[in-house]
Amino acid sequence: MMDLGLKNKRVILSGGTRGIGRAIARAFLHEGASVAFCARNLDDVKSTEVTLGDHAFGSQVDVTDASAVNTWVGEAAAHMGGIDIVVPNVSALAGGSAPEVWRLAFETDLLGSASLVNAALPWLRNSSAGAVVLISSVSGREVDMFAEPYGVLKAALIHYGKTLSAKLAHENIRVNTVSPGNVYFTDGVWGKIERETPELFAQCLAMNPMGRMATPEEVANAVMFLASPVASFTTGTNLTVDGGLTKGVQF
């Protein structure tokens, strides 16, 4: 088994109590890292912290509140002795054309990610393995049923990641993006669609060439690789984890 070099690394993760975020936290912990995670629901934070174990530290934080994010990052860095890896994972999963829906998507998906990265930069600059992994989506690459505002903001995250990678490369801080396709977990969006509109779920499932949707763990594995020292010369890339769902050619 390849050693990813993540032992004793210090990870900060938003949205760590369910789905992809929880799988990311669990994967880092399995490799010997410490993980400070946040979510909005305090009960979920507490139960997840117990489940994940001694090296997981949960906090109740709303990522749309930049001041709260700054405070949390400072406390997490003090608790862990620094920060090596940042994974902004929270998404509003917003759909609809109303201005308030667009505002929520912008403040959560894009501004929430930028606020977390900006707050963590002083510690990333002091790390010998500074890395940021943003979570976008295939909806940011192709027009699909989640086109707006979700897809638009996810596309912006890919651009932000590329821009940030160029800006921080001389400081040896790597920035990459992961774009998952359909990811199934029971309490996620596809689990909800399966329960409420099974015909639509069946149609979407059939669009996946591999005959299934991804597990959160498969997305977490991609995040782990890009965040790890094994990917030490990889920055500014967008890694699609979609089982062949999208048809566009990446150049």
* For the chain, domain boundaries: 10-183+216-239
* 14 included as an active-site residue: no
- In the set 137, 139, 165, 228, the catalytic residue is 137
1 falls in which pLDDT band (50, 70, 90)?
A: low
Q: Output the average pLDDT for the chain.
A: 96
CA dist list (Å): 117 to 99, 156, 182: 26, 15, 26
Mean of the pLDDT values across residues 22-31?
Answer: 98
Residue 148 clears pLDDT 80, i.e. is over it: yes
Residue type, 21: G
> For 102-112, how does the pLDDT look when each residue is reduced to its tens digit (9 = 90+)?
999 999 999 99
Query: Is 150 annotated as catalytic?
Result: yes
Tokens representing residue 193 in the block: 């669609």
pLDDT range class, residue 47, cuts 50, 70, 90: very high
Whether 244 and 217 have beta carbons less than 8 Å apart is answered as no
Average pLDDT over every residue of 183-194? 94
Rounded to an integer, the average pLDDT of 123-135 is 98
- Does the active-site annotation cover 154? yes
Assess whether pLDDT exceeds 90 at residue 74. yes
The DSSP bridge partners found for residue 174 are 131
Q: Which of 91, 139, 150, 160 is catalytic?
A: 150
Instruction: Say which of 59, 91, 115, 154 is annotated catalytic.
Output: 154
* Model confidence band, residue 78 (pLDDT cutoffs 50, 70, 90): very high
For residue 114, the model assigns a pLDDT of: 98
Residue 195 has pLDDT above 70, yes or no: yes
pLDDT above 90: residue 146: no
Q: DSSP letters along the chain, please?
A: ----S-TT-EEEEES-SSHHHHHHHHHHHHTT-EEEEEES-HHHHHHHHHHH-TTEEEEE--TT-HHHHHHHHHHHHHHHTS--EEE-------BSSSHHHHHHHIIIIIHHHHHHHHHHHHHHTT-SS-EEEEE--GGGTS--TTTTBHHHHHHHHHHHHHHHHHHHGGGT-EEEEEEE--B--TTSHHHHHHHH-HHHHHHHHHT-TTSSPBPHHHHHHHHHHHHSGGGTT--S-EEEESTT---PPP-
**Does 137 participate in catalysis according to the annotation?**
yes
Provide the pLDDT for residue 2.
79
pLDDT score for 154 = 96
Q: Please name the fold of domain 10-183+216-239.
A: Rossmann fold (3.40.50)
Q: Which two tokens stand for residue 95?
A: 């759909």
The region of weakest confidence among 42-46, 88-92, 172-176, 185-189 is 185-189
Catalytic residue among 34, 136, 139, 179: 136
**pLDDT grade for 164, boundaries at 50, 70 and 90:** very high
pLDDT of residue 250: 83
Mean pLDDT of 173-178: 98
As a whole number of angstroms, the distance between CA 34 and CA 8 comes to 6
pLDDT in tens, 204-222: 999 999 999 999 999 999 9
